Chains A and B, each alone.
Chain A
Amino acid sequence: MTEKSKGAKSSHLRINSLAVTKAIDENLKLVYQDALKDVVPDRFTKLLAQLREKERKS
């Protein structure tokens, strides 16, 4: 990540120093990884099978 905070004029830009960005990104990864752990419901494998089947018939 190339976050440049040089020449920051506003507090917003100051907040986005590399260290904070890194800390936030780590938390974001945890949010995302958490959601990734969910077991994929059958409906999606069934859906793909249906789409495949429908196409074969046509």
Chain B
Amino acid sequence: MTLSDADPRDEITNHIPDLRAFAMSLARNHAAADDLVQDTIIKAWTNFDKFALGTNLRAWLFTILRNTFFSNRRKASREVADPDGIHAGNLSVLPQHDGKLAFREFLVAFNQLSAEHREVLILVGANGYSYEEAAGMMGVATGTAKSRANRARARLCELMGMTGPTGNAALADPAALAVLSQSGRAVA
């Protein structure tokens, strides 16, 4: 290795904003998220020989981060494993009367999901990873990732008051869909 050879580990720096965003979605508070990112960086740095050069570094870092998060949680066992968010969300967010759901309310609903649901949605929905890729990071079968994502979306709809008491989707109602699509940005 010559002096001019860049250390591939320097690349880690470029992924810190994404690591923090992913950590925030799991840990839900800045202090815990940043501790998670710090642990991830140290582990990645010291185990870099296990990274297959030329493959996706961000996916590798994400895997370390989520493994750290879930194993810390197991150790602490303060939070019961709750893949379907049964315990997490009793507080229901209902659309306002004008039919608009603020982005803030989407965020409230999202944060009521279980960590497993938040994880799969952030990987697939926000980052655009395929179910195969997400499954690889989560250490589950592709089918599991897919059904978990489906349940997570359903739960999200439920938390936003988009399902009736019988569990029937309000989807037949176009207004309900409009509510959801307006929660992000204003539809002019």
Mark A residues whose CB is within 8 Å of B.
1, 3, 11-17, 19-21, 23-33, 35-36, 38, 40-41, 43-45, 47-48, 51-52
Contacts and interface: CB of A to CB of B under 8 A. Distances in A.
Contacts of A38: 17, 20-21
A33 B168 CA distance: 32
Interface of B (DSSP majority class): helix
Contacts of A3: 150
A14 B168 CA distance: 9
A25 B129 CA distance: 12
A35 B24 contact: yes
Contacts of A13: 150
Given A31-B107, A36-B18, A47-B41, A23 B184 contact: yes
Interface residues of B, number: 47
B125 A45 contact: no
A16 B181 CA distance: 14
Interface of B: 7, 10, 12-13, 16-18, 20-22, 24-25, 34, 37-38, 41-42, 45-46, 103, 106-107, 110, 121-122, 124-127, 150-151, 153-154, 156-157, 162-163, 167-169, 171, 177, 180-181, 183-185
B25 A15 contact: no
Contacts of A1: 124
A43 B17 contact: no
B180 A11 contact: no
Contact of B21 (A11, A36, A47): A36
Contacts of B153: 15-16, 20-21, 24
A40 B125 CA distance: 23
Given A24-B121, A47-B42, A12 B181 contact: no
A45 B106 CA distance: 33
Given A12-B150, A35-B25, A48-B45, A43 B34 contact: yes
A33 B7 CA distance: 28
A8 to B, nearest CB: 10
A17 to B, nearest CB: 6
B21 A40 contact: no
19 contacts: A11-B167, A15-B153, A15-B154, A16-B154, A17-B171, A20-B171, A20-B177, A23-B177, A24-B156, A28-B125, A28-B126, A29-B125, A30-B103, A31-B110, A32-B22, A35-B24, A35-B25, A44-B38, A48-B10
